[in-house]
Amino acid sequence: LINFTPDTIFEKLVNGLNKIDYNIILMINDIEYTPYKTNTGETIDNNHFTLTMNDQNTVMIDTTNIKNLNLYNTIIASPDMDKEKGVIYLDTINDERIYFKSYTTIAEEAAAAANKEKPESNTN
């Protein structure tokens, strides 16, 4: 864990990680406490963590859904995962569908958003 985490949330994290396959635990490089906040700074989910994995993927997880981390090896074994690295959102699995966004897509979206924010220059 690379940053401060409130004791009660840290305890939930530890209890959850105790139920995760040890081989998956070994794949975690860093755990960062990253509560979700609104644009105004209001906390939406204070049980949220970002895991940096040793295979260069990032996993978003919360203490409620931490058991989903046990799916990690199955997820990365899928054919599409060999082609791209990115963010795997294990905090939001719906109907057993896993949300993944490649780092390439994230960079493209950030560039597009930055271009929208730039004021248009007049060349008159």
- Look up residue 90 and give its amino acid: L
Asked whether residue 1 is assigned to any structural domain, the reply reads no
User: How many domains, in total, are found in the chain?
Assistant: 1
The pLDDT score that the predictor gives to residue 37 is: 85
The pLDDT score that the predictor gives to residue 105 is: 87
Asked whether residue 124 is assigned to any structural domain, the reply reads no
The pLDDT score that the predictor gives to residue 123 is: 55
Asked whether residue 98 is assigned to any structural domain, the reply reads yes
Residues found in the chain? 124
Q: What's the longest Cα–Cα distance across the chain?
A: 65
Domain of residue 55, CATH code: 3.40.50
pLDDT tens digit at each of 124 positions of the chain: 889 999 999 999 999 999 999 999 999 999 999 998 888 888 888 999 999 999 999 999 999 999 999 999 998 888 777 778 999 999 877 666 778 888 888 888 888 888 887 666 555 5
The pLDDT score that the predictor gives to residue 29 is: 97
Residue 110: domain span:
7-117
Asked whether residue 112 is assigned to any structural domain, the reply reads yes
Asked whether residue 123 is assigned to any structural domain, the reply reads no
Asked whether residue 52 is assigned to any structural domain, the reply reads yes
Cα 66 from Cα 49, distance rounded (Å): 9
Asked whether residue 122 is assigned to any structural domain, the reply reads no
Cα 13 from Cα 11, distance rounded (Å): 5
Dig out the tokens for 34 from the structure.
């990253």
Asked if residues 35 and 50 have their Cβ atoms less than 8 Å apart, the reply is no
The pLDDT score that the predictor gives to residue 12 is: 95
Beta-carbon count within 10 A of 56 CB: 10
